Structure 1
Amino acid sequence: MSFGRWPVAAGIAIGLVLLPMGAAVADPKPTIGQAKAKLDKLNDKADKVVDRFNTATERYKNAKTTYSKLNDNYKRKLATVATLRSQVINMAVDSYTLGGDVTSWPGLIGTGNPEDRLNGLALAGQLSTERAEKLAAFDRENRGLKTERDKAQDALVSADKERDGVEKERSEIRKLIAEQKKLLTKLGAYNAGNPNSVGIKYTGPASGNAAAVLRFAFAQVGKPYVYGGTGPGGYDCSGLTQASWRAAGVSLPRTTWQQWAWGAGRKVDINDLQPGDLIFSEGLGHVSIYAGNGQIVHAPQTGDVVKVVKLSDYGNRIVGAIRP
């Protein structure tokens, strides 16, 4: 590895000549370019981890929602079954009390009108049968619902474990990036951004939904890049694209990978871009919005802000584009 144009060995040799005897040899202070290059590498790795984390989090949220709905439904059905079971038992008790031993003549010719007794037994039996049939139907439905609920619970546990696993990896990368942020701050190259930035006005060629998308995105310019950020004070790359298209009434999935998969049938050639198209780069680790006139608006990386840059800055790192 070299710092600037001097190899490490040469740098140390020169330092030994220039420093007084006994003085400690300090590591050369990295340049802004070197610090940013290191940060870029960390961000490339972190982008993929954070996208996996966001995907895992979305999967967890969906699993939790599904489980909660099924569990609530299951509990309501259990309550209904309990009520029906109680009614069936009560009807059976009432029938027995009313008829006694209905197989014997004494039970029919005892006190009261036997015909009225028989009618009462028939009605009670009919009601009891209806409730029993309804109870059996609910029991069958409940068994199926319990199976679905249990599967949803398993999915929830699995999604929770996946999220925890990625969270550990993400925490480690955040520590490394925190170190780089300190370094960039010392070098005066860290842009903290302004969570309350009002951005800039979009004056490009977009129309229709795309115009609404870009008006929103440009209004976020100057706000900080935040891992996992979905606004309004800061965004990560897919958080910005999702929020921008939501402003135009279109619901996009949360993460870069999910947005790419969602747009599988909406891909466009990079040479036929229109304002509002989503451009994927860095091995699907990053997504931006085409603004027209060869420009994109995006939330780039830690230590930077939502900004408008030239599309050509991405060179051959572009994977493809979709049109929501």
Structure 2
Amino acid sequence: MSSLRILLRSLAVAGLSAVLIAPASVARAEPTPAELTKQIEKSSTELERIVESYNKLNEDIKTNKATAAKLAARIGPLQAQVEQSRADVGVLAATAYKTGGLHTARALLEPGGQSSLPERLGTLDQLTRQRQQTIAGFTSSQRKLIDEKTQLDVTLARQAAQAKQLKAGKKKIEADLARLYELRRQAYGRATEAPAKPGSVGSAPAISGSAGVAVRYAYGAVGKPYVYGAEGPGGYDCSGLTLAAWRAAGKSLPHNAAMQWNATARISRGSLQPGDLVFYSGLGHVALYVGGGQIIDAPSPGRNVTKRDMDIMSIAGYGRVR
């Protein structure tokens, strides 16, 4: 056997031996339940921020739709005014042509008759002013109509861009949710929490007034699933739950945590009362305070509305619904 063949055989045997004795630890280890839980918490926090941005976009679209409707309602009467002004100017022009504008002016200025020259000049001046006012009314109405139409076009264009952005945001949320649910499956054996047993959090405390209505509503929502963009009754996201609870009490809140922060009055922790809102760091999460240091909130995708201690994470501040 040639020395080259012996060398090649030796190298092959050595390579095979290395593969056989390589430690098993080189293979990728599966993440532990603790590692999966950490990933789930991180993904949930990031996803909730995206959901709240999605909700804000929805609120902006609602505002723009309302603005567009008001503008459209104003354009109708303005259009009618412009058309009437055009008709009025046309009548003035036709009358001047038929009666002979110069002849009328000359008759007013010629001596004779009972009217004095100043009176005749005053009549002519009044006719001139009336005509100028009619024409000015036509041009101002026309300018206003053009301005309103321009505003409407800008609003509708913004609305179309937002709708496109909303569609893209929804796609991203759905993809992120699929990944999150898969992580939950690996960690807990199922993608979503099992429904809570009825009465598992006890009865709502006896609180009077509109705050009591909001708190009782929140207790009734415990165990219902987190559903992004939802405001009940089958499911909720965080700002959707606080919105729905206070809507039941006759108060209106926007469907976004940061916007709810702006819509409520600032209070201190020591002033907290049931029905107040608790806002968390970055204004990406909001919950309803129910007393005794407890909140009810829609925590995150895959979980259900729950009652828990309010110090779940860093608190940004507290709000009272006005």
Quote the Cα distance in structure 2 between the aligned partners of 1:202 and 1:176.
Answer: 36
User: Are the equivalent residues in 2 in contact too, given 1:56–1:159 (CA < 8 A)?
Assistant: no
Quote the Cα distance in structure 2 between the aligned partners of 1:132 and 1:149.
Answer: 26
Quote the Cα distance in structure 2 between the aligned partners of 1:101 and 1:94.
Answer: 8
1:234 matches 2:235: yes
Q: Look up the SS of the partner of 2:288 in the other structure.
A: strand
Match of 1:56 in 2: 57
CA separation of 1:102/1:172 partners in 2, compared to 1, >3 Å: closer, same or farther?
closer
Structure number with greater Rg is 2
User: Are the equivalent residues in 2 in contact too, given 1:77–1:138 (CA < 8 A)?
Assistant: no
1:239-278, aligned counterparts within 5 Å?
A: 239-263=240-264, 266-278=265-277
Quote the Cα distance in structure 1 between the aligned partners of 2:259 and 2:136.
Answer: 43
Deviations 1:225-247 (A, max 9, x none): 11111222211101111111111
Greater Cα offset, 212-221 or 128-137: 128-137
> Normalised by the size of structure 1, how large is the TM-score?
0.73
Deviations 1:124-178 (A, max 9, x none): xx99975873453253144135325424533553465356446535533431321
Match of 2:176 in 1: 176
Match of 2:226 in 1: 225
Greater Cα offset, 60-69 or 299-308: 60-69
1:1-324, aligned counterparts within 5 Å?
A: 13-14=23-24, 25=27, 27-28=29-30, 30-94=31-95, 96-97=97-98, 99=99, 103=103, 133-134=133-134, 136-151=136-151, 153-158=153-158, 160-161=160-161, 164-165=164-165, 168=168, 171-185=171-185, 187-191=188-192, 202-263=203-264, 266-312=265-311, 314=312, 317-324=314-321
Identity value in percent: 32
Quote the Cα distance in structure 2 between the aligned partners of 1:192 and 1:145.
Answer: 56
User: Are the equivalent residues in 1 in contact too, given 2:204–2:219 (CA < 8 A)?
Assistant: no
User: Are the equivalent residues in 2 in contact too, given 1:204–1:293 (CA < 8 A)?
Assistant: no
> Normalised by the size of structure 2, how large is the TM-score?
0.73
Where structure 1 has 5 or more consecutive residues not aligned to the other structure, the ranges are 1-11, 17-24, 108-125
In the TM superposition, what is the alpha-carbon distance from 1:275 to its structure 2 partner? 0.4
Deviations 1:43-71 (A, max 9, x none): 21122222222222222321232133223
Where structure 2 has 5 or more consecutive residues not aligned to the other structure, the ranges are 1-21, 108-125
User: Are the equivalent residues in 1 in contact too, given 2:231–2:240 (CA < 8 A)?
Assistant: yes
User: Are the equivalent residues in 2 in contact too, given 1:200–1:219 (CA < 8 A)?
Assistant: no
